[in-house]
Chains A and B, each alone.
Chain A
Amino acid sequence: MRPFDRWAVGLTVPAVLLTTLFYVLPIAQVLVLSVTEPAPGLANYEQLLGSRAVARVVMTTLEVSLWTTALTIAASYVVAYALVQMRPSVRRVALFMVLVPFWISVLVRAFSWITILRREGLVNLAVTGLGIVDEPLQLVHNRTGVIIGMVHYMMPFAVLLIYANLAGIDRRIMQAGRSLGARPMTVFWKLWVPLSAPGIAVATLFVFIFSLGFLITPTLLGAGRTVMVAEYISVQITNTLRWGVATGLSTMLLVAVGFVVFIAMRQPALRAAFSGRQG
């Protein structure tokens, strides 16, 4: 190794130490706790697998995460596609607006959504005022509210991931398509969509995994009626002090995420995304 390389490797040592100390060790501790607390053995897992409450929480988590992923990807694709078509000057402004939510705390965003979506909120005032519906819509403190909040939280990430992919596609390919006689719909479905498969795949995986672990948004917007895994774990730790159950469920979430990633990485589109080529 040249001195420079030795230096470069040396510079990563603090990061390795920090990660080990504050990330790897706590996770290991979670694993250990799940098989030792309150008594050594697999009792926690037996209890988790047999519990109807846990089954319901897991189902809710899966359903909410799938809905969030589907809606986020669809909406983000529209935004990203529009971004790519914009003139550079307009695009700068639009990208800025996509990024704004990053600077607003997730708590503030959740409370803002409550004020907008509640019975006397802006949306309900509008739709009842305009006579579109007679009764105010139930938009918050339920699954709908949770999904709205989560989609809003995830969209900037998904927009940026998909936009990066779309912006890298050679525009001459679309021109080639048109010169060969393809109309806008054909260009979109046969060229844009397949060529952005790697971006869609990465964004889908990212949003889905992120959604599985959401805590604050479902807690506030679900108001106890839509309980997801993270909130359930949090309650076990802070309220009922069942550390064994909490760490067991955490471990299962970790394994589930690992499994999703493993399956996903076998897909050609994702492999393409990580090897940096198209199609």
Chain B
Amino acid sequence: MSFLVARDLRKTYGPVTALADIGLDVEEGEFVTLLGPSGSGKTTLLMAIAGFTRPDSGTISLAGRDITGVEPEDRDFGFVFQGYALFPHMSVADNIAFPLKVRKWDRARVDARVEEMLGTVGLADLARRKPRELSGGQQQRVAIARALAFHPKILLLDEPLSALDRTLRETMQRELKRLHRQTGVTFLYVTHDQEEAIAMSDRIAVFQKGRIVQVGAPRDLYYAPSTRFVAGFLGVNNLVDARLVRGADGAVEIEALGARVALPPGKVADLPEGPATVFMRPEDIALEPTPGEPALAIAGTVADVSFVGSFDLVVIEPRGGPEITAHLPADRTRALPVGAPITVFVRADAIGVVPNT
């Protein structure tokens, strides 16, 4: 049995279903991210696990013990709030000492642990400052140090980096990963930023309208999304309406953007014939077919070309469908004026197919 287990959690607010039959298993020491758009129920689940929100039904258990009815103060879970929620009337050191003092640690032990935590998050010089005298990134570190100081069983983090600017966010992502490795504490992390989720997590649970639609390692979700929603949410994907056609000999063909290609056997074993959604990553779209491999040949016109660094981002308007985006080598795009006709190729094994819903 897993370390933290949520079973059949439901929570409704009037007509809104914030959580609909959520099930989630987290192993000890894992870094699991709850990823989903705004309003999909991530905070509600985190608050239920922390004990602040009582679910309408379902259970939460930790190391085999049912904790659904346990008060937050008795759970021993660290919580890093959106906006940090530092105690404004206490110094940095007193903020970090707070959980230790309520646990009646003796003075020497508290001081030693505060010192240690300040060192861990690199704030040793700012121990006497008040929270309002700190930058956003520094407040963030205090909040994390405070939540980790008392050796929590789990650390819950609700969009801790959303208020920081891009560069600082990347630094803090690395910092959090380091803290996770260093402390071995189980991290349950909420974000709506898919890059952040992919960069940090052991596993990601994707939320949609109060449900977890897919759980898996970042790579699995990226390469094998199970629904159109997940495919669209993870990574920049071209999502295109398509038709699945099954031949007599078990061969499967896909028809999209006015073109048609046979898919490798076994790719879409469980999908019925008929409408489906196809996704293609921009980096899998090329100007020439790979010799000897079947490819979908998409004909259209160039709608836009923009330089983004190592490649050019080309928007193509296919004859039979919505715009798609391709990453093409910069040395080849000079010959692509806007409005010029173009044909691009996507290898059949790089094409993903998911159900339409």
28 A-B residue pairs with Cβ-Cβ distance under 8 Å, sorted by A, are: A172-B83, A172-B85, A173-B87, A176-B86, A178-B73, A179-B50, A179-B52, A179-B72, A179-B75, A179-B77, A179-B78, A179-B79, A179-B156, A181-B73, A181-B74, A181-B76, A181-B103, A181-B150, A182-B73, A183-B73, A183-B102, A190-B98, A191-B87, A279-B87, A279-B88, A279-B89, A279-B90, A279-B132
B146 within 8 A of A: yes
Residues of A within 8 A of B (CB): 170, 172-173, 175-183, 186, 190-191, 194-195, 197, 277-279
A194-B98 Cα distance, complex, nearest whole Å: 14
B3 within 8 A of A: no
B218 within 8 A of A: no
Contact with A along B54-88 (1 / 0, CB 8 A): 00000000000000000111111111011101111
CB pair B89 A182 closer than 8 Å: no
Residues of B within 8 A of A (CB): 50, 52, 71-79, 81-83, 85-90, 98-99, 102-103, 130, 132, 146-147, 150, 156
Counting chain B CB atoms within 10 Å of each CB, the highest count among A178, A181, A191, A278 belongs to A181
A197-B90 Cα distance, complex, nearest whole Å: 13
A237-B219 Cα distance, complex, nearest whole Å: 90
CB pair B85 A175 closer than 8 Å: yes
Chain B residues with CB under 8 A of A197: 89
Chain B residues with CB under 8 A of A277: 88, 132
B290 to chain A, nearest CB (A): 54
A179-B79 Cα distance, complex, nearest whole Å: 6
A114-B288 Cα distance, complex, nearest whole Å: 99
**Given A175-B72, A181-B73, 10 further pairs, Cβ under 8 A:** A170-B83, A175-B81, A177-B98, A178-B52, A178-B71, A179-B156, A180-B147, A186-B102, A191-B87, A279-B88
Chain B residue at smallest Cβ distance from A191: B87
CB pair A176 B89 closer than 8 Å: no
Contact of B81 among A172, A182, A183, A186 (CB under 8 A): A172
Contact A175 to B79, CB < 8 A, known contacts A277-B132, A279-B130: yes
Chain A residue at smallest Cβ distance from B89: A279
CB pair A176 B73 closer than 8 Å: no
CB pair B89 A195 closer than 8 Å: yes
Counting chain B CB atoms within 10 Å of each CB, the highest count among A180, A182, A194, A278 belongs to A180
B108 to chain A, nearest CB (A): 20
Chain B residue at smallest Cβ distance from A170: B85
Chain B residue at smallest Cβ distance from A195: B89
Chain B residues with CB under 8 A of A179: 50, 52, 72-73, 75, 77-79, 147, 156
Chain B residues with CB under 8 A of A182: 73, 98-99, 102
CB pair A173 B85 closer than 8 Å: yes
CB pair B52 A175 closer than 8 Å: yes
Chain A residues with CB under 8 A of B130: 279
B357 to chain A, nearest CB (A): 37
CB pair A180 B98 closer than 8 Å: yes
A190-B156 Cα distance, complex, nearest whole Å: 23
Chain A residue at smallest Cβ distance from B50: A179
In the A-B complex, the 7 residue pairs with the smallest Cβ-Cβ separation, listed nearest first, are A279-B89, A180-B99, A179-B79, A279-B88, A172-B85, A176-B85, A178-B72
CB pair B88 A180 closer than 8 Å: no
Chain A residues with CB under 8 A of B132: 277, 279
A197-B98 Cα distance, complex, nearest whole Å: 19
Chain A residues with CB under 8 A of B76: 181
Chain B residue at smallest Cβ distance from A194: B89
A65-B8 Cα distance, complex, nearest whole Å: 59
A64-B270 Cα distance, complex, nearest whole Å: 84
A13-B268 Cα distance, complex, nearest whole Å: 81
A95-B265 Cα distance, complex, nearest whole Å: 70
CB pair A180 B89 closer than 8 Å: no
A140-B72 Cα distance, complex, nearest whole Å: 49
CB pair B146 A180 closer than 8 Å: yes
Contact A176 to B102, CB < 8 A, known contacts A181-B76, A279-B89: no
Chain A residues with CB under 8 A of B79: 175-176, 179
B27 to chain A, nearest CB (A): 22
Chain B residues with CB under 8 A of A173: 85-88
Counting chain A CB atoms within 10 Å of each CB, the highest count among B89, B98, B132 belongs to B89
Chain B residue at smallest Cβ distance from A186: B102
A233 to chain B, nearest CB (A): 42
Chain A residue at smallest Cβ distance from B52: A175
A194-B72 Cα distance, complex, nearest whole Å: 22
Chain A residue at smallest Cβ distance from B158: A172
A176-B147 Cα distance, complex, nearest whole Å: 9
Chain A residues with CB under 8 A of B89: 194-195, 197, 278-279
CB pair B77 A195 closer than 8 Å: no
CB pair B103 A176 closer than 8 Å: no
Chain B residues with CB under 8 A of A279: 87-90, 130, 132
Contact A180 to B102, CB < 8 A, known contacts A173-B87, A279-B130: yes
B150 to chain A, nearest CB (A): 7
Chain A residues with CB under 8 A of B156: 179
Chain B residues with CB under 8 A of A176: 79, 81, 85-87
Chain A residues with CB under 8 A of B99: 180-182
Chain B residue at smallest Cβ distance from A279: B89
Chain A residues with CB under 8 A of B88: 173, 195, 277-279
A278-B132 Cα distance, complex, nearest whole Å: 10
Chain B residue at smallest Cβ distance from A174: B85
